[in-house]
Amino acid sequence: MATNSGAPSATCPPKLWRRRKPWRRRIRAVWTAAAACLFLVGTGWCRADVELDWIETWSGADEEGWQSNSGDMTAGYTSADGGYLQLGFGEQPGPPWPEDGTAYADSGASGGRFVGDYAGIMTESGQGLTAQFDFLAEDYLPGFVDLFFKSAVSGRTWMFALPNPPAVDTWTQYVVNFDFAAGWSYGPGATEEQFLADLADVEWIGVHVERSLELGEQFYGIDNFVLYVPEPGTWCMLAGVALALLVHIRLRRRAAAPACGVAR
């Protein structure tokens, strides 16, 4: 019986033998990438921040601490559609006049999950930060809808104007990036430097609504409010899976081929 000399034999094509060493390096690369990702997870750069991805659905049969900053608008829980935060304006005797209010979350609402250092999250992730929520105009289309946040750094309240929902009795999803160039402002003279500085400590965030000029009572709804960033941890996982799949396919091919240098 022939012995394995470590060189290609007549039953093992030289091309296959020469490819062994690069694939061993690739296997080591997979383990290196996995170890690096685990290290990044531990240090916070490659992680899943569960607080950011937490969705307020108002399924607990109360307002979850959200409140209105205006005497013109109420903020209360309704069990319709599985539960949501309902904003209400009373009937006006006429003539109509503008009424508005902001339903907001501070440190006492939703477990304090929506307030704090937004700027740090944006810097750490390198992916920015996004707010998303669903909005319902139950009876009339509103005068306008905005996303507001107030900074504890300067006391400024920043506003992002949203397009009006297209129809009543239909949920509309809004997605807003915390990017100054997208249209955030507190008024004349607002700068990106101020915006980024103010994001370092968000005191509260909320949805601002102005009622329709119709005289009847009006109701609006907010649901599925969430803050999130694209997760670097997801990319680590996908890269690791792809590399592992390539190695698996290669190893299966090698197992099906005759062993090099071994007589049959």
pLDDT at 127: 85
Asked if 259 and 42 touch (Cβ cutoff 8 Å), the reply is: no
pLDDT above 90 (res 108): yes
| pLDDT tier, 16 (very low <50, low <70, confident <90, very high otherwise) | very low
| Rounded-to-integer distance, Cα 83 and Cα 57, Å | 7
pLDDT at 52: 87
pLDDT above 80 (res 94): yes
pTM exceeds 0.75 for this model: no
pLDDT above 70 (res 48): no
In a domain, 54, yes or no: no
**CATH code for the domain in which residue 92 is found:** 2.60.120.260
In a domain, 74, yes or no: yes
| Rounded-to-integer distance, Cα 99 and Cα 93, Å | 13
pLDDT above 90 (res 162): yes
pLDDT above 60 (res 166): yes
**Structural domains of the chain, count:** 1
In a domain, 253, yes or no: no
Of residues 31 and 92, the one with the higher pLDDT is 92
What is the domain extent for residue 130?
A: 67-234
pLDDT above 50 (res 24): yes
In a domain, 135, yes or no: yes
Average pLDDT over residues 16-30: 51
For residues 153-192, one letter each, b for 16 or more C-beta atoms within 10 angstroms of the residue's C-beta and e for the rest, the string is eeeebbbbebeebeeeeeebebebebebeeebebeeebee
In a domain, 53, yes or no: no
| Rounded-to-integer distance, Cα 46 and Cα 69, Å | 38
In a domain, 24, yes or no: no
Angle at 217 between CA 215 and CA 218, to 5 degrees: 105
pLDDT above 50 (res 13): no
pLDDT at 244: 46
Q: Would you give the end-to-end CA distance of the chain in angstroms? A: 9
pLDDT in tens, 172-207: 999 999 999 999 999 999 999 999 999 999 999 999
In a domain, 138, yes or no: yes
| pLDDT tier, 29 (very low <50, low <70, confident <90, very high otherwise) | low
In a domain, 22, yes or no: no
Q: Which of the residue ranges 41-50, 88-97, 105-114, 151-160 has the most confident prediction, judged by mean pLDDT?
A: 151-160
